[in-house]
Amino acid sequence: MLKIFGSFVLFLYNMVTRTERIRVLWNRFIEEATLIGVNSIFIVGIVSAFIGAVTCIQIAYNLTNPLIPKSTIGYMVREMTILELAPTITSIVLAGKVGSSIAGGLGTMRITEQISALEVMGINSTSYLVLPRILASMFMFPLLVILAMALSILGGYLAGTLSGVMAPQDYIEGIRTDFIPYNIVFALIKAVVFAFLVSGISAYKGYYTEGGALEVGAASTAAVTNSIIAILLADYVLAAVLL
Amino acid sequence: MIEISNLEKSFDGNQVLKGISCTLETGKCNLLLGGSGTGKSVLLSCVVGLMKPDLGSITFDGTVYTNSKVDIRQEIRRKIGMLFQGSALFDSMTVAKNVEFPLQMLTPDMSLEERRDRVEFCLKRVGLENAGNKMPSEISGGMKKRVGIARAIAPNCTYLFCDEPNSGLDPATSIKIDELIAEITHEYNITTAIITHDMNSVVGIGDHIIFLHQGKKLWDGNKEEILNAQVPELREFIFSSSLVRAAKRVEEEDGPQGLEHLAAEPLSEV
Ligand SMILES: Nc1ncnc2c1ncn2[C@@H]1O[C@H](COP(=O)(O)OP(=O)(O)OP(=O)(O)O)[C@@H](O)[C@H]1O
Ligand SMILES: [Mg+2]
């Protein structure tokens, strides 16, 4: 365990020493960021809208006490999605989407000797291949999380009003009650940390693939499971430290 | 000229290279010949710096490569072109982009136009001037090797390494690839090392042949000498080729023109 952690740190260290020229890295960053954004926007949108909708319906189902105002439902949807569901669920979805594609892509490059080809040219392959992927993830995850927050709240609104459990004004009033801006900051910090974990772990798994196509598949799977575990652990630690 | 001296390399107690010393000569096709699993790829990986040898040294034209500073290694690496066993083309880039890539990375002061010209020149050199816009997945194995060669020579390499350039190709195509490598080697006077277990390559382009067996160098010489070599392992290797055996039979029956005939004529006709 300690040995793996050590080699992971070394891997990250190699990535930031002897980097390529800024221009090259910038172009690679833009490429990767576009890829992550475009490929994930649809799934993140769908998942977060439905999570918002389901959260709203279920809270409404549990809140039968007439003394509690209906607007509480909107308030709770907002709190749950911003603090926990949007950053964490989005990151878990992205662990599946982005993590497996990073591990699979790098693994394939490794077994087909494309990484060796870069090294022979005298290019630092970790800095060229991995650094832009990690930075692009750390840039795109928070943006996707913001999108997820908005769509979850919208999903909740649509579910709540269309199913008739509450009036639109109630929901709007609810989501405007006692808003704490720091929660958004906290969620974005979480997104950046999760992005680093997902992309770093997946890149590490993919980069050190050995063998053939079978091992690339295994590396992808390991990347996703390890990323998800790391996200959940980090989620707990961040909540304990920052809240 | 690349000098390899006393190179040793083991993996978890399994010694693969057992003290190899040899020179790779400039302006010649240096063939690394040997059976499967004798450590040819490991040797080449050590030479280009993808693996670190346990012992021994490698010198590129007088500059020590092993254990030298990062800057010096980097300097040498930029003069190395390599064709990998599976071509190792970047499959997210077109053929032209693949060839342009080392130029873009290694010679940033080159203008866009110069780069385009160089890519066009290299693709033309390997006979692929019309394939520039194709993706690697859309071209055949032989074409991939050609692109690999074009990419290796694009930045004017001084050293060219080819790991089994003709594995998996039909005999006619592999001879063309061999000839292309030989032409480039002689034309630009570069130091070329080629891994092979193909006797066609040996008699075709073997300017300098190094025979490896179980991690040791057993013999070296040129293609004229190899047919008369007296090393039993080498003789077994050469005469396991049925073509060579057939020629040998012809020689025994019809007198001594058989092998020479095989070495000189049919190959250059293809
Ligand atoms: N990364 C590695 N880790 C452990 N053992 C290795 C490694 N690379 C090569 N070997 C071992 O070294 C030996 C020589 O392998 P190498 O790939 O150099 O053979 P080769 O001469 O290139 O054979 P072929 O002609 O089949 O390509 C093999 O027994 C192989 O198992
Ligand atoms: Mg090999």
Separation CA A205–CA A219 (nearest Å): 6
The pLDDT of residue B241: 73
**Is B80 within 8 Å of chain A by CB?**
yes
Q: What is the DSSP letter of B81?
A: E
Nearest CB partner across the interface for B102, out of A18, A20, A121: A121
The angle formed by the CA atoms of residues B179, B182 and B185, to the nearest 5 degrees, is: 150
Ligand 1 and B40: CB distance under 6 A: yes
- How big, in percent rounded to 5, are the helix, strand and coil portions of chain B? 45, 25, 35
| Model pLDDT for residues B202-247, shown as the tens digit of each residue | 888 999 999 999 999 999 998 888 888 888 888 888 888 777 777 7
Rank A71-75, A136-140, B53-57, B121-125 by mean pLDDT and report only the highest.
A136-140
What is the residue-averaged pLDDT of chain B?
A: 87
Rounded Cα gap, residues A54 and B228, in angstroms: 83
Single pTM value for the model: 0.88
What share of chain B in percent tops pLDDT 90?
56
What's the CA gap between A92 and A79, in Å, rounded? 19
Over the stretch B110-156, which tens digit does the pLDDT of each residue have? 899 999 999 999 999 888 989 999 999 999 988 999 999 999 999 88
The closest residue, in CA terms, to atom 25 on ligand 1 is B36
Q: What pLDDT is attached to residue B259?
A: 52
A-proximal residues of B, 13-52, CB under 8 Å: 48-50
Nearest ligand 1 atom to alpha carbon B85: 27
Ligand 1 pocket test, pick from B14, B15, B16, B45 with the greatest ligand atom count within 8 Å of Cβ, gives B16
Tens digits of residue pLDDT in A119-163: 999 899 999 999 999 999 999 999 999 999 999 999 999 999 999
Q: In what order do the strands lie in the sheet with B55-60?
A: B14-24, B2-11, B55-60, B63-64
For tokens 């709007």, what's the residue?
A172
Distance B163 CA to ligand 2 centre (A): 7
What is residue B38's three-state secondary structure? coil
Task: Please judge whether A119 and B89 are an interchain contact, meaning their C-beta atoms are less than 8 angstroms apart.
Answer: no
Residue B256 tokens, joined: 């001594």
The pLDDT value given to residue B256: 57
pLDDT digits (tens, 9 = 90+) for A9-56: 999 998 998 888 898 999 999 999 999 999 999 999 999 999 999 999
The span from the CA of A56 to the CA of A34, in Å, is 32
| Contacting residues of B for A20, CB less than 8 Å apart | 105
Give the three-state DSSP class for B196.
strand
Q: What is the DSSP string of B148-178?
A: HHHHHHTT--SEEEEESTTTTS-HHHHHHHH
Where does residue A50 rank: exposed (0-12), middle (13-18), buried (19+ CB within 10 A)? middle
Using the beta-carbon criterion (under 8 Å), do B85 and A113 form an inter-chain contact?
A: yes
Q: What is the pLDDT of residues A90-120, one digit of tens each?
A: 999 999 999 999 999 999 999 999 999 999 9
Q: For chain B, which domains are there?
A: 2-226 (3.40.50.300), 239-270 (no CATH)
Q: Tell me if B196 CB under 6 Å of ligand 1.
A: no
Burial of B37 (0-12, 13-18, 19+ CB in 10 A): exposed
Average pLDDT over residues A78-95: 95
Distance from CA of A114 to the nearest CA of B (A): 5
Rounded Cα gap, residues B213 and B234, in angstroms: 8
pLDDT in tens, B164-208: 998 878 888 888 889 999 999 999 999 999 999 888 888 889 999
**Residue B260's pLDDT band (cuts 50, 70, 90):** low
CB contact under 8 A, B80 and A123: no
Q: Which residues contact B265 (CB under 8 A, 6 or more apart)?
A: none
Q: Which amino acid is at A15?
A: M
Q: What is the three-class DSSP state of B9?
A: strand
DSSP notation for B211-222: EEETTEEEEEE-
The pLDDT confidence band at residue B269, using thresholds 50, 70 and 90, is very low
H-assigned helices in chain A:
2-16, 22-62, 71-80, 90-94, 100-111, 114-120, 125, 131-162, 168-175, 181-207, 213-242
Q: What is the edge-to-edge ordering of all strands in the sheet holding B29-33? A: B80-83, B159-163, B191-196, B29-33, B208-213, B216-221
The answer to whether residues A227 and A213 touch, using CB atoms and an 8 Å cutoff, is no
Q: B249: CA distance to ligand 1 center in Å?
A: 34
